[in-house]
Chains A and B, each alone.
Chain A
Amino acid sequence: MIEIKNLSKRYGALTAVNDISFTVRPGEVLGFLGPNGAGKSTTMKMITGFLTPTSGSISVCGHDVENDPLAAKAVMGYLPEGAPSYGEMTVRGFLEFIANVRGLTGDRRRARLDDVVGRLQLGSVLEQMIETLSKGFKRRVGLAQSLLHDPQVLILDEPTDGLDPNQKHHVRTLINDMAKDKIIVISTHILEEVDAVCNRAIIIAGGRLLADATPKELAARAPSGRLDDVFREITTGQKNAA
């Protein structure tokens, strides 16, 4: 379970995340929606312990991210925005490094490496340097890294960005397959993605949480029944008011 209480992040005068609270339970695939600069990535960076909140608390599977960061980080898999990795390493070398840090050994290590390489179809590029790979492959290497230790909680920041339609479909199937007993949080600004993989959606804009419902309920709020319209109404309405 992820429990977020009154989370805020301020940079000087700028408030990137403003008093957000929500809870995510196992089996939920939570879509994090919002315009660019809404505070999606900042929230994810705080959940994964990269940024320290200005105020509020985050607990992941019972581990407080600020007070017990290592335990919290151990149960999470994280794909940062842009899927950064070490370009001068081979795909195999990089995944071996992650396996070492994650403390995977013996049979389980081999099984997990085989599993992610198979799932993300990385077999053909294992010996290639990451910086020579296409954007789609780099993204899949980033996903493989986040899945390697079969984490209870997955935080994916724009997991399908830069993928072609087939690869997008593939990643969505992947997320659906894993959704059953995990907690998955994905951020996106592609609304069809929410329909395809999420069973819950949160809309944030200007650092505030503006809506929290299932994609169906959200879509029903617009006369047209389309998620796009609701999204535009909620996020731009906020701007006009402010």
Chain B
Amino acid sequence: MHNISTIFRREFGSYFATPLALVFIVFFLVLAAAFAFQFGNFYDRGQSDLAPFFSYHPWLYLFLIPAISMRLWAEERKSGSIELLMTLPVTTWQAVIGKFLAAWAFAGVALALTFPMWITVNYLGDPDNGAIFAAYIGSLLMAGGFLAIGACLSAATRNQVIAFIFTIGICFAFLLSGFPVVLALFEGWAPQPVVDAIASLSFLTHFQSISKGVIDLRDLLYFATVIGVWLAANAIVLDMKKAD
């Protein structure tokens, strides 16, 4: 626990030691608001909720989360500091979890800074604040899923750009499998359980179900599993190819 928190603090601090944190947060906030107001018709819908805001999160995360996760391990490889880290008395697991939690906390800070949206909708109307809270939780969990995928792929390469692009690719597949257009391709011929299975693999399906305001145990379990599996893969990849 002590080692995880030491690594967490170093990693979290390093986001703010460079302009990366500022650039990321500003970009995220501007885009999140722009999508909600421009494409989500936040005002014109005449409903006091944050659905137009949250519905674009998966697409925002698709491009922004890989930008956080790409440096996690690729940078350590490139600079050689991975050799320092892995010869300190910490286990691979402690390093993997500490780094992941730092990235997740950073994404959480960016997400929390969207609070003016929440205030705005309360000022304009009388929204279901419980549902909004649930959607925030769902959004944070989804960010965790994206980050775990990104962390694993970042560990596989020393090139941050490659990590970035591959992460987008895999995250896109995880999103797409819940998209109506994709599901329609299967619906004609595949049995319903298969279609459901494909849909249930998707971040989109689980995020949408949470953002309706219902925190279902199955959705929590889904995100916990995704994060756990990808972090386990992250640790295995590290142990397999530490040196190159």
Contacts and interface: CB of A to CB of B under 8 A. Distances in A.
24 contacts: A51-B242, A70-B90, A70-B91, A73-B89, A76-B87, A78-B87, A80-B80, A80-B87, A84-B79, A84-B80, A84-B81, A84-B83, A84-B84, A85-B81, A86-B79, A88-B14, A89-B13, A89-B14, A97-B10, A100-B9, A101-B88, A102-B88, A103-B2, A129-B17
Interface string B207-244: 00000000000000000000000000000000000110
Interface string B195-216: 0000000000000000000000
Interface of A: 45, 48-51, 70-71, 73-74, 76, 78, 80-82, 84-89, 93, 97-98, 100-103, 129, 145
A145 B89 contact: no
A88 B83 contact: no
B89 A74 contact: yes
Contacts, number: 66
B14 A51 contact: no
B3 interface: yes
A89 B87 contact: no
Given A51-B242, A80-B80, A73 B88 contact: yes
B86 interface: yes
A40 to B, nearest CB: 15
B14 A86 contact: yes
Interface of B is mostly: helix
Contacts of A102: 88-89
B179 to A, nearest CB: 39
B6 interface: yes
B242 A50 contact: yes
Contacts of A70: 89-91
Interface residues of B, number: 23
B38 interface: no
A19 B84 CA distance: 26
Contact of A101 (B3, B18, B79, B80): B3
B84 A145 contact: yes
B141 to A, nearest CB: 29
A105 to B, nearest CB: 10
Nearest to A72: B89
A50 B243 contact: yes
Nearest to A75: B89
Q: 5 closest Cβ contacts across the A-B interface?
A: A84-B80, A100-B6, A88-B17, A80-B83, A73-B89
Contacts of A73: 87-89
Which has the most chain B C-beta neighbours within 10 Å: A51, A97, A103? A97
Interface string B77-108: 00111011011111100000000000000000
Contact of B83 (A45, A98, A101): A45
Contacts of B242: 50-51
B79 A93 contact: no
